Structure 1
Amino acid sequence: MAIQQTKVFVEDLQRGMFVSRLDRPWTRTPFALQGFYIRDLEEIRQLQKFCRYVYVDVVKTVGDVGVKLRKITRAAESAAKDTPTQTTPRSIPVAINCKPVQVRHNSYAPPEPVRKEASKARQLHEHIVLGMHQVMVQLQANQPLPTAQVNHTVSQMVDSVLRSPDAFSWLARVREKDEQTYSHSVRASVWAVVFGRHIGLRRQELVQLGVATLLKDVGKLYLPETVLKAEKRDPRAELEYRKFVDYSVKLLSSDPNIDRHVLTIVQCHKEQYDGSGYPKGLRGGQIPVLARMCGIVTYYDEATNPRGAEFPVPPSRAVAQLYELRDSAFQEQLVVEFIQSIGLYPTGTQVELSTGEIAVVVEQSHQRRLKPKVMLVTDAQKKLLAKPRLFDMAADDDRKLALVKKGKKSLAEVGLITITQDMDPSRYPAIDVARVRDQYLYEQRLPAFVARFLPPRLSS
């Protein structure tokens, strides 16, 4: 039998069915990760609180319902072969109606050097954090939102990201020791604008997306602390938690100066591509493009900065999790574009080089994403260096390939250096990424380390 699992809407669930997959990640529900048999009506009620549909293992399902499911799926397979254009049965997943997003790469000038923009970006970042603090204080005091201030600051951030995406990416990637509870929204807003720049959104759309992503969680102020900070929510607590979207929309819509597009993004950012999101269960093209983008950056930042974790998660792991959700929670085209926008190794990422050394990515090469500028922080034996040293991977490649082109060395002799993997920050807690950032971006004198540790015969 080709079909091993079939889609079943929660109102059609019956005892004896084996639930093998949900319409959302298992970790967002209280259910067992390995799947489970439905044994009583209470389990069905719980599934109805969390899901619109689930996937049922046809082979494992027992009893009369198992026999019926196997007959239905066999009939569906046969019908699909004989009349492929006929209406798809309800129990079989159907295609999601959604037009491709119009993407305009290279809509903006090539990025300026990150050091040139770094100081401006840091000041703007501080203004955004202070602005979010003011937003929270005024909301708690039932005072009007400082909408004009937020719009102005985000507008300046957009201009900064248009000049140099890496400058703000640094500030989003590095977790500070004194982070505030709203730091997630600030980081996600940065990722959103970087993402939007990459696909060529108009400046006005970038501001709308940045403001919405920054303010999307203001309704969480009205959630009970027990619900907001719970590591694992039962069905009732999860339903209570989901109300934050409506609270956010209500708070923001009370301001006559708020952009209507911002409200729409906030209202729809928790909707999911396959219809499994909330609050309305929109799917595919029913979800505005900017809201789909907001959902992706929200997920990515939560994946890289898990609640309560001491260290951020390696970008490759978060990207893998995001990619697994393509065309289920998120539109595949936008997932791929987002990954391209941040690169496999965003600034601030700890990486291992093919030489065995550990380095921190300090600036992207936007034409050669796999060859960024890095700061070497350990030697090949993983011993911390007394002072990090700058290494431009793209420039090193160019120098070595020039020797090969002139016939002075073979490709094997020059030994092109590559990134082998990104590193889990918890493996080397002594590496102070924030210190590396400050040394690269803000200190006046820094040795331009490009030649690297090469034997004398290869350095000429």
Structure 2
Amino acid sequence: MGDSIESSNLIKIPVSKLKLGMFVEAIDKDKSLVNIANAGQIRSAEAILRLHKSNVSHVWVNGERSLPELGLGKVVSAPKPVARKVSVERATTQKQAKELIVEAKDLIQKVLSETFEGKAVEVEPFEALADNLIESVMLDADALKCVSALRSKDAYLLEHSINVAFLLITFGRYLKFDTDMLRQMAIGGILHDIGKIKVDSEILNKPSKLTPEEFEHVKLHQTYAVEIMGQTKGLSQISQDISLMHHEKLDGNGYPLGLKGDEIPTHGRMSCIVDIFDALTATRCYKEAMSPAAAFKILLSLTPHHLDQQLVYEFIRCIGVYPVGSLVQLSDGRIGIVWEAKGRNALNPKVKCFYSVKHKCYTKVEIIDLLRSSLNIEKGISPSSLEIDPTPFY
């Protein structure tokens, strides 16, 4: 038994709360501290999953031997302020999420360039990227949500591909799909707009309304995608469905194949919902970003002829009325970023406030827990409605 371990700086932590960089020194078994031979820092999501599969519910973490930025170095009797604890943990996972998204953009850009030159797509790099996205969602989905909320008009195609993959993982996980299904869906999401590389960029980025002829030209991106998918070895049918069905409609009026009703499987229907939602909530050269709430209204208006109504309701429940990373205005006139919205916090999330519309000035950055505050959310807002740039506060 491991009762002889120096326990002055050991912290008992549920396996569900483990994070990368924590130093696991012992497991908790039958309320006893049991030493383990392979003590060490958690370096991957797989290590956490192995503990889950071994039916270990709690472990003992050595704070001093964990990564310093996790803030576990010294155990004090008084609880740490919630805002500090959240910011320390988020700083680590958000840094990892930013690095992952930069890596993902570089990979997609490289493949788009190669596709434009006529080279066949190799699936293996995307399998690794999909696994990294899944791992990031399992470790701290909120960090990835905040990073993915930072959009750039100039990198829309890259960011949209990553966000669609991320939303498909989030939605699939909510519907309890297994990891292999999530991986295949994520790969499809990453590749879903690959045909646009062969579309005239002037038409694709036109700031005014497209003519009927121009719209028909843009629709060709799915015809090009069919050709590209046909040359891609090792791409699963599910990944292909995600890529090729995101513009199909339940009433048969979609493209490229005009599939109808049951011809569109559940994952194909999910890709339609996710693609539209992410496009609506992004800023483009020809439109401003919508708030999630406004986008949800449009999704519902497209049911049942275009989108699957039950799946849209499930998607809204999955994402939440106030998604992490979205902007809200509180009853005291302050603007903030939804920072955490889990479980019963969904309607009363933690909000990172930084600006007052009432006084038109920046305020002290503060995380408000609406479950423990007399304040409430007045409305969700879009970044374009602000006179200032919220980016630095993410």
Question: Structure 1 length normalisation: TM-score?
Answer: 0.62
CA RMSD of aligned residues (A): 2.3
Report the secondary structure of 1:378's partner residue. Answer: strand
Match of 2:345 among 368, 382, 394: 368
Residue identity matched to 2:337: V
Paired position in structure 2 for 1:301: 278
Render the CA deviation track for 1:419-457: whole Å, top value 9, x for unaligned.
110123233231x322111xxxxxxxxxxxxxxxxxxxx
Paired position in structure 1 for 2:233: 256
- The whole-number CA distance in structure 2 between the counterparts of 1:383 and 1:240 is 45
Give the drift of 1:294: 0.8
Give the drift of 1:178: 5.9
Paired position in structure 1 for 2:198: 222
Give the drift of 1:250: 1.3
- The whole-number CA distance in structure 1 between the counterparts of 2:300 and 2:319 is 14
Give the drift of 1:129: 0.8
Paired position in structure 2 for 1:419: 377
Asked which structure has the greater CA Rg, the reply is 1
Give the drift of 1:114: 4.7
Paired position in structure 2 for 1:175: 151
Render the CA deviation track for 1:403-433: whole Å, top value 9, x for unaligned.
xxxxxxxxxxxxx321110123233231x32
Report the secondary structure of 2:269's partner residue. Answer: helix
Note if 1:144 corresponds to 2:120.
yes
Question: Structure 2 length normalisation: TM-score?
Answer: 0.72
Q: Is the 8 A contact 1:114 1:363 kept in 2?
A: no
Give the drift of 1:365: 2.5
Render the CA deviation track for 1:305-345: whole Å, top value 9, x for unaligned.
25315752211111111111121210011101111111111
Residue identity matched to 2:124: A
Q: 1:423 to 1:277 in 2, by over 3 A?
A: same
Residue identity matched to 1:422: G
- The whole-number CA distance in structure 2 between the counterparts of 1:347 and 1:311 is 20
Match of 1:434 among 348, 371, 391: 391
Paired position in structure 1 for 2:242: 265
Between stretches 360-369 and 309-318, larger displacement belongs to 309-318
Residue identity matched to 1:225: S
Q: 1:300 to 1:200 in 2, by over 3 A?
A: same
Give the drift of 1:142: 2.3
Q: 1:248 to 1:177 in 2, by over 3 A?
A: closer
Note if 1:277 corresponds to 2:254.
yes
Q: Percent identity?
A: 26
Render the CA deviation track for 1:373-428: whole Å, top value 9, x for unaligned.
1111234724323432111222x15xxxxxxxxxxxxxxxxxx3211101232332
Give the drift of 1:152: 0.5
Give the drift of 1:187: 1.7
Report the secondary structure of 1:164's partner residue. Answer: helix
Q: Is the 8 A contact 1:365 1:371 kept in 2?
A: no
Structure 2 portions without partners, runs of 5+: 1-56, 58-85
- The whole-number CA distance in structure 1 between the counterparts of 2:253 and 2:142 is 34
Between stretches 214-223 and 351-360, larger displacement belongs to 351-360
Report the secondary structure of 2:366's partner residue. Answer: strand
Report the secondary structure of 2:155's partner residue. Answer: coil
Paired position in structure 2 for 1:331: 308
- The whole-number CA distance in structure 2 between the counterparts of 1:284 and 1:358 is 43
Paired position in structure 2 for 1:453: none
Q: 1:156 to 1:310 in 2, by over 3 A?
A: same
- The whole-number CA distance in structure 1 between the counterparts of 2:110 and 2:366 is 39
- The whole-number CA distance in structure 2 between the counterparts of 1:278 and 1:363 is 38
- The whole-number CA distance in structure 2 between the counterparts of 1:133 and 1:380 is 39
Structure with greater proportional strand content: 2
Report the secondary structure of 2:343's partner residue. Answer: coil
Structure 1's consecutive aligned runs of 4 or more residues displaced over 6 angstroms after TM superposition are: none
Note if 1:289 corresponds to 2:273.
no
Paired position in structure 2 for 1:212: 188
Note if 1:184 corresponds to 2:142.
no
Give the drift of 1:370: 1.1
1:334-373 aligned at under 5 Å gives the runs: 334-373=311-350
Q: 1:240 to 1:310 in 2, by over 3 A?
A: closer
- The whole-number CA distance in structure 2 between the counterparts of 1:299 and 1:261 is 19
Paired position in structure 2 for 1:130: 106
Structure 1 portions without partners, runs of 5+: 1-108, 398-415, 438-460
Render the CA deviation track for 1:214-272: whole Å, top value 9, x for unaligned.
11111112222344334433333333322211211211221222222211222222111
- The whole-number CA distance in structure 1 between the counterparts of 2:152 and 2:359 is 24
Paired position in structure 1 for 2:97: 121
Paired position in structure 2 for 1:31: none
Report the secondary structure of 1:243's partner residue. Answer: helix
- The whole-number CA distance in structure 2 between the counterparts of 1:377 and 1:148 is 42
Residue identity matched to 2:390: V
Render the CA deviation track for 1:270-296: whole Å, top value 9, x for unaligned.
111222211222222210111111111
Residue identity matched to 1:143: K
